[in-house]
Structure 1
Amino acid sequence: MLNIIEALRSPSVAERFPTFRKFEIGDVLFASFSCPSSGQWEANWAEHDRIVHVLSGRKSLRAVGGTWEVGPGDTIFLKKGACFLRQRGADDICLFMFFIPDGFVRAAVREIAPDLPVLPPPADHRDMLIHINDDAGVKAFLQAMTVFFSNPGTPPELLLKLKLKELIASIVVSASNSTLSGYLRSVASTNVPSIPAIMEANCCHNLPIEAFAKLSGRSLSSFKREFRQHYGISPGKWLLERRLECSAHLLTTTSISVTEIVFECGFEQPSHFSRAFKAKFGQTPSEYREACAAAA
């Protein structure tokens, strides 16, 4: 699966997207680009949260929590992890993307925390996508980034950091973006993401164990050790069990094909899926579906 941060940082990205612009400050990445429509669902993942602003074109996005449609003028927040994207129509889509590491969010929120009113605990918002209402603070940030991307030079790092910190502060105190405010405050309240939350949100995506370690903000060895302490088994075994459970659920509750279920549940090959499914349930996926339908 494509790591979109690595792809946007690649030296060859400008060859694929002639209008591509980017600014980098350590792990923080600001990008502006247009891409043509393929008409296919395309999977990607990122180890950092991202804000996406659509300038033109339309996309469908599928991830934990549902499917969403975004179009010109929409601004969304995508949590770290994997998702599927598909462009709608033949037109190119033009985007701003801002990748924000947890460390930057923590520093920005904790800096203003003494001046914040006492707020209720953030809600447990499990959807991967949060719509952002373009209030005055969000509009000011987008206007500034439009100017920066339109000019040939690179803005000073201090100015880019300041604009992003202002955006985070604006969202945290915004009454119109309370869901995202709660999420950002929850990020600031911990030093590393929750392993169970990361695993549940991304278990049905075909990601390597190294990607799960990155998403959880840990080294591979620390991730494996803490995972086993929490679940009592290895990440690989847990992922296989969860993906098989997910596939069994889809077989009995939907009419989508077995091939589609392979894709939906994070398996690489249909043959591997069929072998693993039969080893767990004693039947092939098709036999299992037929038996459950007959028993209903």
Structure 2
Amino acid sequence: MVSKNKYEDLWSHHNYIVYVVEGRKIWHTAHGAYDLREGSCVFVRKGACIVEQFFDTEFCFFLFFIPDAFICETLNAKSTPIRSTVRKHEPVMPLANSIAIHTFFQSMLPYVEEECQPDPALLELKFKELILTVADNTANQELLAYFCSLLEEPQSVSLQLIMEANYCYNLKLEEFAALCARSLSGFKRDFKSIYQTTPGKWLLEKRLTHAQHLLANRGKTVGETSFECGFENATHFSRAFRQRFGIAPAFVRQRLLV
């Protein structure tokens, strides 16, 4: 059985940047795991993930939530346009270590340690400074690719990217709609137009296919698979899996172990 204390679902309808001052956590996505320790800095795309926690040390970090619209506004005001040599971007993107990025977070310490709240105008400037700092580093090609997609890609492509990156998390349709910057009715309408099916049917098929892969190739338990594929509980998952594939998920795992 997966411990909800050790593993925690986390989702945000805004992108965010994490800079680790002390401690360790692992961000798990459908595309891989990202082990964050002291000095790690990553950009996490809006959406969901599973965070693995370690309780033998404190976890101290900076966390900046940054909406797509704010990123685009900042980049559009940039004197030189951004470019990227790659077109791919994962849900979690490590940022290149540089003196500029470490200096930026050191400059934030006085605002954290002081009791008075900084002026909102000053915070807005600091957020813009952070975006421009990472955008000016050509080593951040994957992040630059994501920034380019925000500036160039139509909303239909954005919806597909969000769904493909987040289908395995236990999010409600209202939360998927929020991630896609749409009302629930607008999300359902646009989804049907793109995929020719309903979000519920598409999500169930994607989750079950992913579950089959985890059981057959990764040796995951039924409980772990249920949790990592976005099902409410193992009973619901087992019933849906048997209906789809005609076999209990436990038997798929047993075949791998034989």
TM > 0.5 fold call: yes
Per the alignment, residue 166 of structure 2 pairs with 202
Deviation, 1:117, is 5.3
Per the alignment, residue 178 of structure 1 pairs with 141
State which of 18, 22, 26 in structure 2 corresponds to 1:60: 26
Stretches of structure 1 lacking an aligned partner (at least 5 in a row): 1-37
- Distance, in Å, in 1 between the alignment partners of 2:251 and 2:167 is 25
Aligned partner of residue 239 in structure 1, secondary structure: helix
Deviation, 1:39, is 6.3
Instruction: Work out whether 1:257 is the aligned partner of 2:221.
Output: yes
CA 247–222 in structure 1, closer or farther in 2 if over 3 Å, else same: same
- Distance, in Å, in 1 between the alignment partners of 2:81 and 2:227 is 46
State which of 48, 63, 70 in structure 2 corresponds to 1:97: 63
State which of 138, 144, 152 in structure 1 corresponds to 2:107: 144
Per the alignment, residue 41 of structure 1 pairs with 7
- Distance, in Å, in 2 between the alignment partners of 1:181 and 1:146 is 27
AA of the residue aligned to 1:86: E
Aligned partner of residue 194 in structure 1, secondary structure: helix
Q: Is the 8 A contact 1:58 1:93 kept in 2?
A: yes
Q: Is the 8 A contact 2:15 2:46 kept in 1?
A: yes
Aligned partner of residue 124 in structure 1, secondary structure: coil
Deviation, 1:197, is 0.9
115-124 or 53-62: bigger deviation: 115-124
AA of the residue aligned to 1:249: H
Aligned partner of residue 96 in structure 1, secondary structure: strand
Per the alignment, residue 84 of structure 1 pairs with 50
Aligned partner of residue 77 in structure 2, secondary structure: helix
CA 288–255 in structure 1, closer or farther in 2 if over 3 Å, else same: closer
Q: Is the 8 A contact 1:137 1:167 kept in 2?
A: no
Aligned partner of residue 255 in structure 1, secondary structure: coil
Q: Is the 8 A contact 1:135 1:176 kept in 2?
A: no
- Distance, in Å, in 2 between the alignment partners of 1:90 and 1:196 is 39
Q: 1:150-189 counterparts in 2 under 5 A? A: 150-189=113-152
Between 1 and 2, higher relative CO (CA 8 Å, sep ≥ 6) is seen in: 2
Deviation, 1:289, is 4.8
CA 269–89 in structure 1, closer or farther in 2 if over 3 Å, else same: closer
- Distance, in Å, in 1 between the alignment partners of 2:256 and 2:18 is 42
CA 44–120 in structure 1, closer or farther in 2 if over 3 Å, else same: closer
Stretches of structure 2 lacking an aligned partner (at least 5 in a row): none
CA 287–87 in structure 1, closer or farther in 2 if over 3 Å, else same: closer
AA of the residue aligned to 1:98: F
How many residues matched? 254
- Distance, in Å, in 1 between the alignment partners of 2:227 and 2:201 is 19
Deviation, 1:257, is 1.4
AA of the residue aligned to 2:169: H
AA of the residue aligned to 1:94: C
Q: Is the 8 A contact 2:82 2:144 kept in 1?
A: no
| Percentage of matched positions with identical amino acids | 37
Q: Is the 8 A contact 2:22 2:60 kept in 1?
A: yes
Per the alignment, residue 9 of structure 1 pairs with none
Question: What is the TM-score normalised by the length of structure 1?
Answer: 0.79
- Distance, in Å, in 1 between the alignment partners of 2:93 and 2:180 is 20
Aligned partner of residue 186 in structure 2, secondary structure: helix
